[in-house]
A and B are shown apart, each in its own frame.
Chain A
């Protein structure tokens, strides 16, 4: 516990708060903040839109396939983000078949803002999908049968019963995924680079500031710490049951 609190305490007592004003005047900070917010919320939207149906399928399907898919979805949690970044470069880089197809359509992903979003989606999606699947598994299957017998089609029963009942779990998972996207570093660095104003998110700005602008690095670290803390408070504030 002490070890967990050590870096947090060091940032708080190390004068990081006093450097916030200095950091605010640093020309690299504002673009990094806006880029981080823009990309993390875009990534979150993509994760929720594509991850919710997948989580529902994982929660309600039986057999080996959902188990295998579930393990694949979780893989980014245990694989170092830098490895995922290398994988993304290999899959979507200019030399890769998929990258060539995208390039012929006039799209180049690596070292662009969309690459930041892709890296954040890959790294953060498992946190949402796991939480959402777990929330869907807790919905009493009898309630869905009842909804059907009252005339609700499967999509209607999902929207009117499963989704609202699982909503607290979905919100908690979305908070965690967003926090993970904000803090994403390794995959972004390798797949999107560290280009100020283009792909430099807050964690990458901390890395750059460590070379000669320590007070800015400290202040940005404090901002990231605060964002993470707010996201976790959000998770804990979610009630145990959905509202109507």
Chain B
């Protein structure tokens, strides 16, 4: 399953232009705050209209302003994990995971329970969202997105606001889940180590433009901008 996106969109005073593509291997997107990463994610899922460009996922054109195509988010088949996991606080874990499944509520909860158990998270089934740690929320949100069988998964800062131990554990879990589900993914992060763990092809976004692309090793070897140089020199960063 492959995807490609040529995105040209405007939010406020920022114009975001980027060409991204991928297949089974995860694609990473890093950039400073305000560089347009979340806008780009929203354009992919359909919450932000393109001015020009084209988004094609698994052979289906999802957006193409020239031909007047703009599939709404609920018809795109793209999974989305926003910053902070995006779990519904008024639903428990099972209702969250079963939200996108067809059938009665009881049937959805059974399937949600099975999906959680298959990933070793059966213990979280009866819990409320309020009772989950940051890491558990991300794990549940990932299961919820994957059971809907998306054709592409967009994860916006999936490991933010976690302590170092949880981050390491969820990073490993994320890599295993994405590899196991064989779903193409775009992972937005501030931390290159997340992308190194996923062996992702990385794009660096600054002020709405991609300034460098390559593996994390490429970025370490020849940082193209001061931001990239700072990123690769961050404590514990990739070497």
Contact = CB atoms under 8 A, between A and B. Distances in A.
Interface stretch (B16-24, B72-80, B208-216): B72-80
A243 interface: yes
A149 B90 contact: no
B45 A145 contact: yes
B91 interface: yes
A19 B150 CA distance: 69
A147 interface: yes
Nearest to B147: A150
B89 A165 contact: yes
B74 A149 contact: yes
B226 to A, nearest CB: 31
A155 to B, nearest CB: 10
Interface residues of B, number: 28
Given A152-B74, A152-B100, A153-B74, A244 B91 contact: yes
Contact of A241 (B46, B76, B90, B150): B90
B42 interface: yes
Interface in B79-94: 79-84, 86, 88-92
A148 interface: yes
Contacts of B82: 142, 145-146
A234 interface: no
B148 A150 contact: yes
A121 B144 CA distance: 43
Contacts of A97: none
B92 A244 contact: yes
Contact of A244 (B79, B81, B95): B95
Given A151-B74, A152-B100, A241 B45 contact: no
Interface in A101-157: 142-143, 145-154, 156-157
Interface in B91-130: 91-92, 95, 99-100
A207 interface: no
Contacts of B83: 142
A145 B100 CA distance: 13
A148 B95 contact: no
A151 B77 CA distance: 7
Nearest to A167: B90
B100 A150 contact: yes
Interface string B55-87: 000000000000000001110101111111010
Given A148-B47, A152-B74, A143 B42 contact: no
Contacts of B78: 149
B144 A244 contact: no
A167 B154 CA distance: 30
B89 A142 contact: no
A149 B86 CA distance: 11
A165 B129 CA distance: 14
Nearest to A151: B100
Contacts of A147: 88, 99
Nearest to B81: A146
Contact of A150 (B42, B92, B144): B144
Interface string A155-176: 0110011001100000000000
A113 B187 CA distance: 62
B91 A151 contact: no
A161 B81 CA distance: 16
B86 A146 contact: yes
Give the top 8 A-B pairs by smallest Cβ distance, nearest first.
A150-B100, A148-B73, A142-B82, A146-B86, A149-B80, A148-B74, A145-B47, A242-B90
21 contacts: A142-B83, A142-B84, A145-B45, A145-B47, A145-B86, A146-B80, A146-B81, A146-B82, A147-B88, A148-B72, A149-B45, A149-B73, A150-B100, A151-B74, A152-B99, A153-B72, A161-B88, A164-B90, A165-B90, A242-B90, A244-B90
Given A148-B45, A149-B45, A149-B145, 20 more contacts: A142-B84, A145-B47, A145-B82, A146-B80, A147-B88, A147-B99, A148-B74, A149-B79, A150-B74, A150-B79, A150-B99, A150-B144, A151-B74, A151-B100, A152-B74, A153-B74, A154-B72, A161-B90, A165-B89, A242-B90
